[in-house]
Structure 1
Amino acid sequence: MVLIAFFLLSSTTSVQAEHEWDHRYTISGKVLDLDGDTVRGMKVEIDCSPGKTDESLCDLNAERGSSTGLSGIYELVLHFHSSDHGKTLILTVEGEEFNHTVDLEGGDGEMAEEDRYVTMDLRLNGDVPVWSYFMPFIVMTILIIFTILFIMKKKEIWIFAPKAVQTGVVERTALVDCPKCDAKLRSDNMVRHLTSKHWMKEDEA
């Protein structure tokens, strides 16, 4: 019974793996500017507007896209069937179109897993926005700053350190009555008061 269960499980896993590659199509490559330099932070999308990418390809892939990273490389993992061989896929980057004919058979005319991986570099003809060169670094810097602040807050470091609460009692000097008038003064001010207001000598005050 155990051997039968193991055989069935192995067969199911094998079929699932085969089914997975048979429905996957990966396109990857670099996005380049006019000078052939890689461009970072560029979105690569499928153009599913009327008359562009084959409608059947858009049914399962319309929302799929990719962005170039620090190395300027993008990767699109698409869901294709064997019947999609020879159909047209149109990719867009910054409004520019790039046509790709789906080839699931390769040079030998037979469908194999290696035919499901395609390299396609996209060279832009127009000007590339300057911010695209720096955006990944800006995003990374922001993430690093937020991470550091989060750690500092958790450990209560620097500006996140708890403020010390003053618990000491402020001593107050008792007030005394002036013998010459109705004024109430601190004892250390009494001599000055008597000499300046009541014209007394210091030795008498």
Structure 2
Amino acid sequence: MNAPNFNFDLFIKNSNFSDYTSFNIIKDALKTPDEVGSTLRMHLFFERILESWIYANCNREDFFENTQVGFWTKLQIASNLGLPQEVFDIAKKLNRIRNKIAHHLINESSNGIDNSLLDSLKDIFKNKIIKNHPQWQGNDIGMFFYDDDGNPEISVNINDKNLKQHVLLTVICTLTLTYLVIKSKEN
């Protein structure tokens, strides 16, 4: 999966996974009623992880310095550097969801997240990510955040039938990125 010179420490440093305050973007995406804002936050967060993956594989934090490279190109570069196919598939679907929302906003006809795209994303997650991560093969897959005093702040279960679309999208993307960190550490 990883190139022989994959620099895990550089990956973690640039992804900000070691800085728990960086998870505020995820918490904001979960809390907001704004589907568009939530989707854009997750897209940007995912893009940051793709950049970190590339830096770690090339062992260069300045890989994108003085460039303007879009999400799709970064995804292709990450794939060429060994990004797991299942993560690529999730990112590709996330990008389609983001683009569809953005184009509908331009036309002022946004109906939120497309149900068929979200269902497809959920299927990819269950059939490719969960299948490859036995610890998540159960009904209690989700995310939990605690406030500074250790009290539960946010609790989300992926199998909750009442989840709003943007919350489900956030959970799937965040768990996919968590999966990528776990797989990167293993290799």
Q: Which of structures 1 and 2 has the larger relative contact order (alpha carbons within 8 angstroms, sep 6+)?
A: 2
TM-score, length-normalised on structure 2?
Answer: 0.22
Bigger Rg, which one: 1
Query: Which structure dedicates a bigger proportion of its chain to strand?
Result: 1
TM-score, length-normalised on structure 1?
Answer: 0.21
Query: Which structure dedicates a bigger proportion of its chain to helix?
Result: 2
